Structure 1
Amino acid sequence: MANLDPALIPLSLYIHMPWCVRKCPYCDFNSHAVPDGKLSLDLEREYLHALVEDFKTQVDFAQGRSIHSVFIGGGTPSLISAKGYVWLFQQLKNLLNFEDDCEITLEANPGTVEHDPFAGYLQAGINRLSIGVQSFNTEHLKRLGRIHSNQDAVQAILHAKEAGFERINVDLMHGLPEQTLEQALYDLKLAVQSGATHISWYQLTIEPSTVFFKTQPILPNEDVLEQIQLQGEAFLIDNGFINYEVSAWRKERPSAHNLNYWQFGDYLAIGAGAHGKVTRPDGVYRFQKTRLPKDYLAKVPAEHVHFQAIEAEDMPFEFMMNALRLNQGVASALYTERTGQSLEQMEQRLNSLRTRKLMQDDPNRLACTEQGHLFLNSVLEEFLL
């Protein structure tokens, strides 16, 4: 492995807020229902202070770099007050420099945010929202366990625009229990009409650790799912959206934070269950925090970090698993820069994929063909041991 230069690699920050009003039956994220559906001010303060102490232990990982982007995920990060975020960012910026044009995204639930807080979040320095709508159909929302209604979702987007947010992502799922083609397309239509500038549109998957896995709801058949995908994509294209990643569609610039993930950049991580990745001259490391909020709050930061080096033989898959999600892929030179390995060791596998028309026949670019994206999992298997 070549000597790596962290200075060449953008550095982001992920902040995990682990609480939500209630756990949704499809959700396998690290989220936990708050008592009485409301986060107390004392618990908010305790957790924000723990985040700062956690961040202090990671400042050295920056190795002279500034924070390129921030993503606040959960859980439901909009359960934290705007004043809480003002205080948090003041503390973090005292410890490490944030780039002047740093993208800061907050995940927001339409059921926990009203008009005034959006303006407060904007004033706190948050400049991009990701609103977890999932569906504009009230019956589907009930089946998904969401606490908001169709009208709540539409109003959340409109209120965010009125508050001054110019970058608004809407999260939408399709292939929902008993969902029809018409219903799925209507969800996309409302997202576009309401003013979304970015749409994350992905099919519901039933994960083993969820309530849905135990109850097994009735999902649309394969023919309906195929038509939802084909007609949904056509609708988004007709409305000026660009599909730049497997499930990401944009009318504005791409998400800087997500691009950094997909391009195998580095990211610090604070909060219960948060996962991070850092590059050092001797290798690339992943780390994660203890999962349960009560354990995270009870331990000093140094005790709840688990570090693990990405082994040399795992690096091709780790890199490609991210980079090949992008429709345009990445420059070939990025592989050596971000992994410390030469592409020559993968030449045989790359040539095989190019011969089968699954990867683009361009030595300067690592990217799937249209056919390759349809069989992305099979392509990625080529990079496993």
Structure 2
Amino acid sequence: MASLNPALVPLSLYIHMPWCVRKCPYCDFNSHAVPDGKLALALEQTYLQALVEDFKTQVEFAQGRSIHSVFIGGGTPSLISAKGYVWLFSQLKNILSFEENCEITLEANPGTVEHDPFAEYLQAGINRLSIGVQSFNAEHLKRLGRIHSNHDAIYAIQHAKQAGFERINVDLMHGLPEQTLEQALHDLKLAVENGATHISWYQLTIEPNTVFFRAQPILPVEDVLEQIQEQGEAYLKANGFINYEVSAWRKEQPSAHNMNYWQFGDYLAIGAGAHGKVTKPDAVYRFQKTRLPKDYLAKTPAEHLHLQAVESKDMPFEFMMNALRLNDGVPARFYTQRTGQPLSDLDELLSSLRKRNLLVSDENRIACTEQGHIFLNSVLEEFL
């Protein structure tokens, strides 16, 4: 592997807030229900302090870079107060600089238990919201274990706009238990008509270690799933949304943070269960933090920072698994810059995929064709 130059790789920050009001039956994320649906102030303060100490142990990985974007995921990050975020950002920026106009996204649930009004999160420095709606249908929300109503979801989007947020992502799932084509399209319609500027629209998958895995619900048949996908895409395109990644649709600029993931950029990671990726001159490394909040808080930050180098043989798959999700692919130079391997090592495989009309690749760009996106999993298997 050639020597890598971290300066050529953007650096983001992922912050994990591990608590939620109630665990949803489809959810396999690292989230833990809080008693009475509220996070105690003492626990909030203890956790935020731990995040700062965690961040300090990762400064060496910046290697001269500033933070390009921040994503606060969970759990339900809006259980943390706006005041808490003001303090957190001030501490983090004292440790490592943030780029000017750094995109800072907060995941929020539209339930009635939001900690503070959206305007206060905006004032705290958060400039993009990702609202976990999943569905506007009352019956589907109940089946999914969501704590909000369809009215809560509509109000949340409208309230975020009124508060001054110009960038509002709405998370929506389709292929829900016993969902019809009409219901799936109506969910999209309500997101669009109420002001979403970005929509993450993805099919429900049943993951191990979830309630749905243990007691599987009845999902729509394949024909219905295909109709939902086809007509949903047509509706979004007709309403001015651009599909720039497998499940991401935008009316505004792409999510800077997610683009950095997909382009094989670097990201520091703080919080219980958070995953990070960093480039050093000798290799690309991944790491993951202790999952349980109580264990995370009990350890010193250095105790749960264990770097694992990505093996040279795994690098093509690791890179392509992200890059080929983007409709426009990535600049070809990113492959060598971000893996340390010459793209010419893949000449034979890339040629084969081009001949089968699955891939476009030249000295400028690597991307899946429309056909390649349909068979994306099969394309990716070629790089294993």
TM over 0.5: yes
- The CA distance in 2 between the partners of 1:225 and 1:377, in whole Å, is 18
Deviation at 1:114, TM superposition (A): 5.3
- The CA distance in 2 between the partners of 1:38 and 1:20, in whole Å, is 9
- The CA distance in 1 between the partners of 2:51 and 2:201, in whole Å, is 31
State the partner residue of 1:97. Answer: 97
Deviation at 1:307, TM superposition (A): 1.3
Cα distance per residue 1:33-56 (max 9 Å; x no partner): 011211000100000000000000
Cα distance per residue 1:69-117 (max 9 Å; x no partner): 0000000000000000000000000000001110000000000555952
- The CA distance in 1 between the partners of 2:322 and 2:87, in whole Å, is 33
State the partner residue of 1:299. Answer: 299
- The CA distance in 2 between the partners of 1:106 and 1:62, in whole Å, is 22
Query: What amino acid sits opposite 2:183 in the alignment?
Result: Q
- The CA distance in 2 between the partners of 1:117 and 1:106, in whole Å, is 13
State the partner residue of 1:141. Answer: 141
- The CA distance in 1 between the partners of 2:365 and 2:281, in whole Å, is 25
Query: What amino acid sits opposite 1:62 in the alignment?
Result: A
C-alpha contact 1:115 1:159 (8 A) present in aligned 2: no
- The CA distance in 2 between the partners of 1:173 and 1:154, in whole Å, is 16
- The CA distance in 1 between the partners of 2:333 and 2:49, in whole Å, is 41
State the partner residue of 1:82. Answer: 82
Structure 2 residue 159 is matched with structure 1 residue 154: no
State the partner residue of 2:343. Answer: 343
Cα distance per residue 1:140-193 (max 9 Å; x no partner): 000000000000000000000000000000000000000000000000000000
C-alpha contact 2:332 2:364 (8 A) present in aligned 1: yes
Structure 2 residue 184 is matched with structure 1 residue 180: no
Query: What amino acid sits opposite 1:105 in the alignment?
Result: T
Query: What amino acid sits opposite 1:181 in the alignment?
Result: L
State the partner residue of 1:247. Answer: 247
Deviation at 1:362, TM superposition (A): 3.3
C-alpha contact 1:115 1:160 (8 A) present in aligned 2: no
Deviation at 1:363, TM superposition (A): 3.8
Change over 3 Å in CA distance of 1:112–1:341 after alignment to 2? farther
State the partner residue of 1:193. Answer: 193
State the partner residue of 1:273. Answer: 273
Determine helix, strand or coil for the equivalent of 1:120. helix
- The CA distance in 2 between the partners of 1:81 and 1:115, in whole Å, is 6
C-alpha contact 1:286 1:310 (8 A) present in aligned 2: yes
Change over 3 Å in CA distance of 1:361–1:50 after alignment to 2? closer
C-alpha contact 1:115 1:163 (8 A) present in aligned 2: no
- The CA distance in 1 between the partners of 2:341 and 2:75, in whole Å, is 36
C-alpha contact 1:266 1:276 (8 A) present in aligned 2: yes
C-alpha contact 1:114 1:156 (8 A) present in aligned 2: no
Change over 3 Å in CA distance of 1:115–1:313 after alignment to 2? closer
Structure 2 residue 281 is matched with structure 1 residue 286: no
State the partner residue of 2:22. Answer: 22
Deviation at 1:208, TM superposition (A): 1.1
1:1-385 residue pairs with structure 2 within 5 A?
Answer: 1-112=1-112, 117-384=117-384
Query: What amino acid sits opposite 1:382 in the alignment?
Result: E
Deviation at 1:364, TM superposition (A): 2.2
- The CA distance in 2 between the partners of 1:278 and 1:2, in whole Å, is 16
Determine helix, strand or coil for the equivalent of 2:359. coil
- The CA distance in 1 between the partners of 2:113 and 2:284, in whole Å, is 38
C-alpha contact 1:16 1:270 (8 A) present in aligned 2: yes
Determine helix, strand or coil for the equivalent of 1:206. coil
Q: Which runs of 5+ in 2 are unaligned?
A: none
Question: What is the root-mean-square deviation in Å for CA atoms of aligned residues?
Answer: 0.9
- The CA distance in 1 between the partners of 2:80 and 2:187, in whole Å, is 28
Aligned-pair identity in percent equals 83
C-alpha contact 2:78 2:115 (8 A) present in aligned 1: no
Hey, which bits of structure 1, 4+ residues long, moved more than 4 A? 112-116
C-alpha contact 2:78 2:114 (8 A) present in aligned 1: no
Determine helix, strand or coil for the equivalent of 2:78. helix
- The CA distance in 1 between the partners of 2:310 and 2:191, in whole Å, is 39
Aligned residues: 384
- The CA distance in 1 between the partners of 2:222 and 2:35, in whole Å, is 40
- The TM-score, its normalising length taken from structure 2, stands at 0.99
- The CA distance in 2 between the partners of 1:350 and 1:73, in whole Å, is 35
Cα distance per residue 1:231-275 (max 9 Å; x no partner): 000000000000000000000000000000000000000000000
Deviation at 1:344, TM superposition (A): 1.0
Deviation at 1:361, TM superposition (A): 4.9
Query: What amino acid sits opposite 2:131 in the alignment?
Result: I
- The CA distance in 1 between the partners of 2:84 and 2:373, in whole Å, is 42
